[in-house]
């Protein structure tokens, strides 16, 4: 029973700051997504293509708009734009690189970047969320 009362007290305290949680979580998620986007750009720099092609791929990396779902708020790292010389959509070419085709070798650079950035991005999201909540509450957590 004492444990249940402790949990209820913590939930009541959390309700006090519930209206701050969504904006803070979006800001923290954006901070973590920024790291992942930077890692994807760094991995793209190592692709075995002409420097102009690599620069266009790295320049096409962006963070998608936030989407609110039943599971929470989310975003994704995405590619947009077209190659200047051919007009071919960059997202299609990146997808072909991820899975490979008969004419395009498989180079899963986005997967490598995501795997490398996962732990660090989660740590950044957690620290950023705490910092945003602290800033919103004036430095108090009670």
For 49-79, write each residue's pLDDT tens digit: 999 999 999 999 999 888 877 777 788 889 9
Helix spans in the chain (H): 2-16, 18-44, 51-59, 90-99, 109-137
* Average pLDDT value for the chain: 86
Question: Does some domain include residue 10?
Answer: no
Q: Which of 63, 64, 57 is nearest to 88 (CA)?
A: 57
Residue 73: name the closest of 25, 141, 12 by CA.
25
Per the confidence metrics, is the pTM higher than 0.85?
no
* Mean pLDDT on 94-120: 93
Work out the angle at residue 71's Cα, subtended by the Cα atoms of residues 134 and 33, and round it to the nearest 5 degrees.
Answer: 55
Is the pLDDT at 1 greater than 50? The verdict is no
- Domain assignment present for residue 127? The answer is yes
Distance CA(101)–CA(108), nearest Å, equals 12
What gap in Å lies between CA 23 and CA 25, rounded to an integer? 5
The total of structural domains in the chain comes to 1
């Amino acid at each position: 029973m004492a444990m249940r009362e402790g949990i209820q007290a913590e939930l009541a305290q959390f309700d006090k700051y519930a209206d701050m949680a969504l904006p803070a979580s979006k800001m923290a998620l954006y901070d973590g997504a920024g790291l992942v986007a930077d890692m994807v750009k760094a991995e793209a720099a190592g692709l075995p293509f002409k420097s102009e092609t690599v620069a266009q791929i790295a320049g096409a990396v962006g963070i998608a708009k936030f989407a609110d779902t039943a599971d929470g708020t989310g975003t994704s790292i995405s590619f947009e734009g077209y190659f200047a010389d051919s007009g071919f959509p960059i997202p299609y070419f990146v997808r072909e690189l991820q899975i490979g085709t008969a004419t395009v070798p498989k180079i899963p650079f986005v997967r490598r970047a995501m795997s490398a950035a996962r732990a660090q991005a989660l740590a950044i999201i957690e620290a950023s969320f705490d910092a945003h909540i602290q800033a919103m509450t004036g430095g108090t957590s009670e």
